[in-house]
Structure 1
């Protein structure tokens, strides 16, 4: 059921008040964080009566440390200490996929380069081979078109083209006319034997003399 105009108006006023209150709280917390960020860690720990995060000895101490008003940077150090205090988290059993070093920083070669490109893959070798083949083809065409190669040829090879015999002449034959080569459909159709006509049965007729006399 839809609310009335005044009901929606009252709900909107309540939401605006809540949003304004949340904004004020966030502003106060930001001011406090800024004030705490300007102070040193030793002063903050002494004021809160908390030990160093690395000196925490149990999960209960870490929990109390996290509930204090200390800045986030000190609470992050306390969480790191919690990982070492908990035997489940501290002792790796070798079955964790994320427990291995996948960076391969120990065996990587210095100044190593890769042909892999994001979005293209490893296509540099194929492109280089295609460019090399194209360059060789262009060089071969340039050598064929260059007239200076004939001047560099040996003397015995000059005039070789003049000594070649003339190619044999070929007699030109007239192409057959399309009308002559067209199939003779009419002649083909006349050769087909027509089927005989069906024989119709004759009816017997009787003639009487007395009937002729009457007529």
Structure 2
């Protein structure tokens, strides 16, 4: 007898789900038809029809619940919410700690055919190797000697004066072995009572 109840209770639940789905589908069709009719009208006409204020001129404390109705087009709802977020200091001031606040999927910022020195699994290895090879090539290149102009015969030879050498200061080292005292050994002492 319990099997019969289970079957009929499941059947009753399925019928109720079908009626709810049909009601939802008819409601969605009605909203879609209403949105199609509203798409032909301007925003000012839609606001007058629903008796709503201009979303761009909302002030702090104004009621925006009228914009949340299903019949109101999304573009007007978004304008009202943007204005609300700008007016409310709690919503307007993001603290900067939002990890994923930036849109990194913006295709307009992508540079086509970008060339980088980064290699997956190797990092910047090729770039570093190229810099090292260039540095070795510079070191291995023979130095080019510059020709010095010969002095004219009429001019007296110039004698370069060498600077006087600086005196070397030496420090007298004291006997380090006598002054060095090793640190005293430290030992832990334990005392037990009883």
TM-score of the pair, normalised by structure 2: 0.48
Structure with higher Rg: it is: 1
Q: Which has the higher helix share?
A: 1
TM-score of the pair, normalised by structure 1: 0.44
- Asked which structure has the greater RCO (Cα within 8 Å, sep 6+), the reply is 2
